[in-house]
Amino acid sequence: MKKYLLVLFAGCLIIQFSCKTKKVDNGGVVTPVKKQDAAFLMDNMIKNQVNADFLSSRIKLGVEGESVMNVSLTGTLRMEKDKAIWVSLKKFGFEVARALITPDSVYVVDRIQGNNTAEDIGYVQRKMNFPANFQMLQAIVLGNPVFFTKDLNSKIDSTGYQLWSNTSSPKSTYHLNGADMSLQQMKFDESNPQRVMTILQDNYQTGEDKRNFSYLRNIFVQSQQSGDMNLKIQFSNVEFDVPKNMPFTKPKLN
């Protein structure tokens, strides 16, 4: 159960790009994507980030993988910017696990196993076998760029734009929708050891506050050491900038 909670905050994109037009349902007319340079695309990716001091949402979580038990759970996720991420997961209406992640610590209550965990933030990276810190997890919750660097190249692909860097660590690729510049896909890979994390973002909705938020995420992790894993998160009843309680009794750090 601990691993499901950690998987919720880390995760992975594999797509090949070749065509230089954007296909839209426009009476059979194919509308070309306008050529843009990397600086313009990066500015739009930064501008379209979700900024919120607080986030609260109901979630549905599905996990499948070679080294984890397939599971489907519901729950609640809450976040306070730069301070805490809190999640409570349920099965058949009963809470099975609760976690609190802060910039320097990870706390997990596993009600199935009947034990607690209190570790430094490096615990996430050690368990997930992929570079991770609080800022990365917060960006994944908000649907914002992860491992962002300004050293990026760009090109047009079949549905929009691709930005990539071969010099960043890990190597990163971002795919933007050609119509509204929304962030559709991110891919991060390392060669030693070989591992890939891919994040697909879909079902964007814009509320009264004008935030364009992805309500459906698919996260894929491919690792020679831990095998493949797929995490699906569906958000609902999302609230921004409304403070919520994060009840948690912290055990002592190891």
Q: How many other C-beta atoms lie within 10 A of the C-beta of residue 188?
A: 24
Peptide bond between residue 193 and the one before it cis (omega within 30 degrees of 0): yes
Read off the pLDDT of residues 57-94 as tens digits, 9 standing for 90 and up: 999 999 887 766 788 999 999 999 999 999 999 999 99
Quick one: pLDDT at residue 9? Answer: 46
Read off the pLDDT of residues 215-238 as tens digits, 9 standing for 90 and up: 999 999 888 777 788 989 999 999
What's the whole-number average pLDDT of the chain?
82
Say whether pLDDT at 30 is over 60.
Answer: no
Domain at 2-12+33-235: CATH architecture: Clam (2.50)
State how far the Cα of 159 lies from the Cα of 68, in Å rounded to an integer: 34
Where are the chain's structural domains? 2-12+33-235
Q: Are 230 and 12 in contact (CB under 8 A)?
A: no
Quick one: pLDDT at residue 224? Answer: 75
State how far the Cα of 115 lies from the Cα of 99, in Å rounded to an integer: 12
What average pLDDT does range 149-154 have in this prediction? 85
Quick one: pLDDT at residue 34? Answer: 85
Q: What is the pTM of this model?
A: 0.82
State how far the Cα of 100 lies from the Cα of 213, in Å rounded to an integer: 23
Say whether pLDDT at 254 is over 80.
Answer: no
